Chain A
Amino acid sequence: MLRYFLLSRAIRMLAVFFIIIILNFILPRAMPGNPASILANEYNLPPETVKILVSLWKLDRPLHEQFVAYIESLFTGQWGYSYKYYPRTVYELVMERLPWTLLLQGVTSITVPAFGMLMGILAGWRRGTKYDVAVTISAIIVYAIPYYWLALMFQYVFGYQLRIFPIAHALTPGASYSNFLEYVADVLWHLTLPVLVVTLTAYASYTLVTRNSMVDILEEDFMFVARAKGLPERTLMKHALRNALLPPLTMLAIRLGHIVGGAVITETVFSYPGVGYLIYESIMFKDYPVLNAAFFMLSITVIVANFAADLLYAVVDPRIRYVRRG
């Protein structure tokens, strides 16, 4: 059964993958505007330069030639040269930024669901108490705070007024480290504010979903029976948890799928060197090679994360079994 499931899924993933590769080529080029003249406009470049850029980036070639070049660069050519950062290759640019994105997104992918789910579980477990009300209301309030604003306030208070955390960047600009531990400490020090702000603004959705699903489960008959049997609290909690955690786990799977996409706003506000801003820029400037590589990467992780979520479900929820249809 499992083998059949894996095979069918793999075939489906492959099909999706090819459709994505083709769409990936068409969509950015369907947006209006020519990358060379956009850059020319932004940087005030003379028309002579625009002509050179068009030929340098091979934008004057017929579309099918561009497509072949695109496929080639995707699999062999380091994803091609970036337009804006020419002559740096897209691979280089992404690899410079990806570790930072993975760090930031990785840490927040733990802190956000962990904190959010913990609050939700506790609120659901004590449904109707003052604690539940406090958690729910504060979650709704925090959920409504614009990320950008909160980040700016934190930068102002902790970075400018109190000076205990850096205002921006992933490292102290111009610092030199005498050992690796210092480097790690500097990275963590710079990571604190972004993680704190992301956690505070993003945990609420996990809390609300977890709390509601917890409340639902606690009302189920099997919970009633379990309680009537006189099972200890700890066991009851275990029973409830296994069922209540399904919806937030789905949210987590979706989040993990976007992990390499970076967090554009976080990266912008804190000048964090991640891929999110690179993607944002490539949309602004129509940097096709970067756009293509970014969406290629993004779609692969989304597909893989979905696949992983499917498998995970089977582990978490015994009711889900892979059955051959028909």
Chain B
Amino acid sequence: MLWFRGRHIPIAIFIVILVLSLTLPYSDILVAQEAVLKIGMPDEIDSFNPFTSLFAAAGYVWGTLYDTLIYISANGTYIPWLAESYSIDERNLIITFKLRPNAYWHDGTPITAEDVEFTFNLVLASNYSDKLDKWGLRKYIEYVKAVDAKTVEFKLKEPYAPALFYIGAIIYPLPKHIWSKVDPLTFKNLENPVGSGPFKFAKYTSGVSIELVVNDKYYRGRPKIDKIVVVLYKSTDALMLDLMAGNIDAMTAVTVAPELVPTLLRDPNIRVVELTHSASLRWIGFNLDKYPFSIREFREAIAYTVDKQAIVNTVLLGYGYPAADGWIQPLFGGWYNPSVTYRKQNLTKAKEILDKLGFVDRDGDGIRETPNGTKLSFSILTISGRAEFERSAELIAGWLSKVGIEAKIEAQSLGTVDEREGRGNFDIGFMGMGMSRTTEIDYYIYERFHSLQAPPIGEYAGRNWFRYRNPEMDQLLEQQRRTLDPEKRREIVWKIQEIVARDLPALTLYMKTSLVAYRTDKYVGWIESEGPTSKLSVLSLSLKGPQVVTVVTQIIQTVPITQIREVTQVVGGTTMIMTQTQIVTGTVTTAPPGGIPTETVVAIVVLIVVLVAVAFLAMRRR
């Protein structure tokens, strides 16, 4: 007989009892009937200190905890937010914000001009400025001054168009009574951060969630949901499964993979939305300090080999669109120059240009040579582990080979790619970046194309790593910064696009649209045009009450600027503006109970029984 036989029956029984007893108290763990909105977010929050946080997703939590002076809606409108109103003087040098009279910090202290002055002085004129001024604002802002309790004034050194964006929408005013007592660089702000936004900090569980509870005294009216749980994920697959299972209601800072869309659409309670205000640009940059990429016509020939639409169709399964050659994309509304489109694939034209340049195949191996005999053989540098990048690069290499240019794909780690591109040790670099309408246009062009950002090869270049140097461009970039008249500034930005499209320092490929999904079975009031998890959308959400049988949902699509404004003003009031209404009748959905369902207990018991049975069978004597 086996050596432990007979002894393990009581052990097995003990385990079963133990497991059962552990699950017993669970029957009464029910999430109270409060409106808890669960939003899935990828990755961990990097810091609760708004000055040191770099991660975009963390910004989502900031947006609910803290308010900025101005809120930028999805169509680029500047909505006075924590500020009741703002004005700019006729010389474009003084910006004045008038704060809301009824705004309070989460600890009950009124929000005053002094708090705003204090926050900006930390950035502009304190011992910490050289570490906190991440945007180089000190070059442009002379001072900030609290004029009275609710009025704050910024004086610029010279007209600077992006100033309103950075002052109004990027820097969160912080409570002076807390931040004046700490070192703003190393303050973790983890124990009960005091903010000004619609939700207050409740709890942070590392790697699991951030819990935010409603701010009852919010100056724009109490939001209708009671609690937000930002659920942190390390894998998008798990996030999507949780969304499908109804464990989370929406997602932020992550997009749905195109392959998943059909699966999601099968669920009547899930809506998939293409965000209108943000998408990702992919492009290839040429090493302009390297022959033959220094020849404009050569770059143009490469542009003619690329079929942008084909990449969108095959790699993105259609969830994107070909990018305009002038860097600024239609997404930016008025900033986009509609006369700048893109070069369609034309292999004959590409061959003609190459022939004209004297790049012909002399030894008959199918690869062209330059007049001095070197082969047109290059590498496309891309980041490993990004299938989308590699697939697109392979398509481009295929087209290049059709016109007699050999291209090999080098996929390396982000660190290596960044270092090689920065120091100019590459031929063609494949890159991507997110673009959002809510970000100031200057952010995308100034450092990207300014010659000051293009040091000689060997020195590290941050954004202008293709090393584009054009005095005319430099001048236009400076000029658009100084022009506050939107019409005149738009003309300059349009001109910049024409030059980029002509010179092609980098070839834009496509825009990958941002697909997001959310559930409609628990909440109503999602504003899709703003993005389901945007501040405006979350503020308009309310629970589908069990007592309500017929509910009217507002789905606002492509709302003109004026209506967005109206929506934001009545949040918390009684009426909602809607352009399209939809009647949802019937099914009352009750919140699923939290804790362990009975099935789990059954499953655990079955599992243990099976294991014990297998063990017994296995140990039976032959």
A residues in contact (CB < 8 Å) with B: 31-34, 37-50, 52-53, 55-56, 81, 84-88, 96-97, 100, 118, 122, 126, 129, 131, 152, 155-156, 158-160, 162-175, 177-179, 181-182, 184-186, 188-189, 192, 233-234, 237-238, 267-274, 277, 284, 286
Known contacts A155-B241, A271-B238, A273-B206; decide if A185 and B187 are in contact (CB<8 Å): no
Least Cβ–Cβ distance between A77 and chain B, in angstroms: 12
Least Cβ–Cβ distance between A139 and chain B, in angstroms: 14
A43 touches B237 (CB 8 A): no
Q: How far is the CA of A43 from the CA of B462 in the complex (A)?
A: 13
B134 touches A49 (CB 8 A): yes
Q: Is B9 part of the contact surface with A, judged by Cβ < 8 Å? A: no
A233 touches B453 (CB 8 A): no
Q: Is B582 part of the contact surface with A, judged by Cβ < 8 Å? A: no
**7 extra interchain contacts, Cβ-Cβ under 8 A, other than A34-B460, A46-B463, A271-B234?**
A33-B414, A55-B130, A122-B618, A155-B237, A167-B245, A172-B595, A175-B595
**What chain A residues lie within 8 Å of B55 (beta carbons)?**
43, 84
Q: How far is the CA of A126 from the CA of B443 in the complex (A)?
A: 72
Known contacts A43-B56, A164-B599, A173-B229; decide if A97 and B206 are in contact (CB<8 Å): yes
B136 touches A48 (CB 8 A): yes
Q: Is B268 part of the contact surface with A, judged by Cβ < 8 Å? A: no
B234 touches A268 (CB 8 A): yes
Q: How far is the CA of A86 from the CA of B578 in the complex (A)?
A: 43
B241 touches A160 (CB 8 A): yes
Chain A residue with the shortest CB-CB distance to B56:
A43
A271 touches B233 (CB 8 A): yes
A168 touches B25 (CB 8 A): no
A87 touches B186 (CB 8 A): yes
Least Cβ–Cβ distance between A25 and chain B, in angstroms: 18
**What chain A residues lie within 8 Å of B255 (beta carbons)?**
none
B443 touches A46 (CB 8 A): yes
Q: Is B457 part of the contact surface with A, judged by Cβ < 8 Å? A: no
Q: How far is the CA of A15 from the CA of B413 in the complex (A)?
A: 33
**What chain B residues lie within 8 Å of A100 (beta carbons)?**
207
Q: Pick the residue among A34, A159, A186 that contacts B419 (CB under 8 A).
A: A34
A-B contacts, 6 listed (Cβ < 8 Å)? A37-B418, A52-B131, A87-B52, A174-B31, A174-B231, A189-B596
Q: Pick the residue among B186, B419, B600, B615 that contacts A164 (CB under 8 A).
A: B600
Chain A residue with the shortest CB-CB distance to B602:
A164
A185 touches B596 (CB 8 A): yes
Interface string of B454-497 (1 = CB under 8 A from A): 00000010110000000000000000000000000000000000
Q: How far is the CA of A45 from the CA of B462 in the complex (A)?
A: 9
Known contacts A87-B186, A160-B245, A270-B238; decide if A38 and B596 are in contact (CB<8 Å): no
Chain B residue with the shortest CB-CB distance to A87:
B186
**What chain A residues lie within 8 Å of B414 (beta carbons)?**
33, 38, 41-42, 284
Known contacts A87-B47, A185-B25; decide if A43 and B54 are in contact (CB<8 Å): yes
**What chain A residues lie within 8 Å of B207 (beta carbons)?**
96-97, 100, 169-170, 271-274
Interface string of B601-622 (1 = CB under 8 A from A): 0111000000000010011001
Least Cβ–Cβ distance between A218 and chain B, in angstroms: 14
Known contacts A185-B22, A268-B235; decide if A169 and B208 are in contact (CB<8 Å): yes
Known contacts A87-B47, A174-B36; decide if A167 and B54 are in contact (CB<8 Å): no
Q: Is B433 part of the contact surface with A, judged by Cβ < 8 Å? A: yes
Least Cβ–Cβ distance between A135 and chain B, in angstroms: 9
**What chain B residues lie within 8 Å of A97 (beta carbons)?**
206-207
**What chain A residues lie within 8 Å of B26 (beta carbons)?**
182, 185
The 10 closest A-B pairs by CB, nearest first: A273-B207, A33-B415, A174-B229, A173-B209, A47-B462, A168-B238, A96-B206, A49-B134, A173-B231, A87-B186
Q: Is B227 part of the contact surface with A, judged by Cβ < 8 Å? A: yes
A47 touches B463 (CB 8 A): yes
Interface string of B76-97 (1 = CB under 8 A from A): 0000000000000000000000
A169 touches B231 (CB 8 A): yes
Q: How far is the CA of A56 from the CA of B183 in the complex (A)?
A: 14
B245 touches A159 (CB 8 A): yes
B38 touches A174 (CB 8 A): yes
| Best-surrounded residue of A41, A46, A56, A181 (most CB of chain B within 10 A) | A41
Known contacts A42-B414, A50-B462, A87-B52; decide if A129 and B622 are in contact (CB<8 Å): yes
Least Cβ–Cβ distance between A57 and chain B, in angstroms: 11
**What chain B residues lie within 8 Å of A272 (beta carbons)?**
207, 234
Interface string of B411-432 (1 = CB under 8 A from A): 0011110111010000000000
**What chain A residues lie within 8 Å of B52 (beta carbons)?**
86-87
A160 touches B244 (CB 8 A): yes
Q: Pick the residue among A32, A156, A234 that contacts B415 (CB under 8 A).
A: A32
Least Cβ–Cβ distance between A24 and chain B, in angstroms: 18
**What chain A residues lie within 8 Å of B416 (beta carbons)?**
32-33
Q: Is B333 part of the contact surface with A, judged by Cβ < 8 Å? A: no
Least Cβ–Cβ distance between A315 and chain B, in angstroms: 20
Q: How far is the CA of A175 from the CA of B419 in the complex (A)?
A: 44
A88 touches B460 (CB 8 A): no
Known contacts A41-B414, A97-B207; decide if A173 and B245 are in contact (CB<8 Å): no
**What chain B residues lie within 8 Å of A46 (beta carbons)?**
134-136, 443, 447, 462-463
| Best-surrounded residue of A43, A84, A97, A181 (most CB of chain B within 10 A) | A43
Least Cβ–Cβ distance between B602 and chain A, in angstroms: 8
B235 touches A271 (CB 8 A): yes
B136 touches A269 (CB 8 A): no
Least Cβ–Cβ distance between B243 and chain A, in angstroms: 10
Q: How far is the CA of A31 from the CA of B418 in the complex (A)?
A: 12
**What chain B residues lie within 8 Å of A126 (beta carbons)?**
622
A171 touches B208 (CB 8 A): yes
Q: Is B290 part of the contact surface with A, judged by Cβ < 8 Å? A: no
Q: How far is the CA of A152 from the CA of B603 in the complex (A)?
A: 19
Q: Is B49 part of the contact surface with A, judged by Cβ < 8 Å? A: yes
A162 touches B237 (CB 8 A): no
Chain A residue with the shortest CB-CB distance to B600:
A164
B25 touches A167 (CB 8 A): no
Least Cβ–Cβ distance between B176 and chain A, in angstroms: 20
A168 touches B242 (CB 8 A): yes
Chain A residue with the shortest CB-CB distance to B186:
A87
**What chain B residues lie within 8 Å of A274 (beta carbons)?**
207
B25 touches A286 (CB 8 A): no
Known contacts A122-B619, A159-B245, A234-B3; decide if A185 and B23 are in contact (CB<8 Å): yes
Chain A residue with the shortest CB-CB distance to B592:
A163
Q: Pick the residue among A118, A167, A174 that contacts B209 (CB under 8 A).
A: A174
Chain B residue with the shortest CB-CB distance to A277:
B234
**What chain B residues lie within 8 Å of A88 (beta carbons)?**
47, 188, 190
Chain A residue with the shortest CB-CB distance to B29:
A182
Q: How far is the CA of A143 from the CA of B462 in the complex (A)?
A: 46
Least Cβ–Cβ distance between A100 and chain B, in angstroms: 7
Known contacts A156-B241, A167-B238; decide if A173 and B208 are in contact (CB<8 Å): yes
B241 touches A33 (CB 8 A): no
**What chain B residues lie within 8 Å of A237 (beta carbons)?**
2-3
Q: Is B573 part of the contact surface with A, judged by Cβ < 8 Å? A: no
A159 touches B241 (CB 8 A): yes
Q: How far is the CA of A253 from the CA of B159 in the complex (A)?
A: 68
Q: Pick the residue among A173, A188, A233 that contacts B22 (CB under 8 A).
A: A188
B54 touches A45 (CB 8 A): yes
| Best-surrounded residue of A44, A188, A274 (most CB of chain B within 10 A) | A44
Interface string of B34-66 (1 = CB under 8 A from A): 001010000010110100101110000000000
B135 touches A48 (CB 8 A): yes
Chain B residue with the shortest CB-CB distance to A85:
B46
Least Cβ–Cβ distance between B91 and chain A, in angstroms: 26
**What chain B residues lie within 8 Å of A188 (beta carbons)?**
22
**What chain A residues lie within 8 Å of B1 (beta carbons)?**
233-234
Q: How far is the CA of A188 from the CA of B234 in the complex (A)?
A: 20
Interface string of B214-233 (1 = CB under 8 A from A): 00000000000001010111
Known contacts A56-B131, A164-B597, A168-B238; decide if A184 and B22 are in contact (CB<8 Å): yes
**What chain B residues lie within 8 Å of A86 (beta carbons)?**
46-47, 52
Q: Is B317 part of the contact surface with A, judged by Cβ < 8 Å? A: no
**What chain A residues lie within 8 Å of B600 (beta carbons)?**
164-165, 189
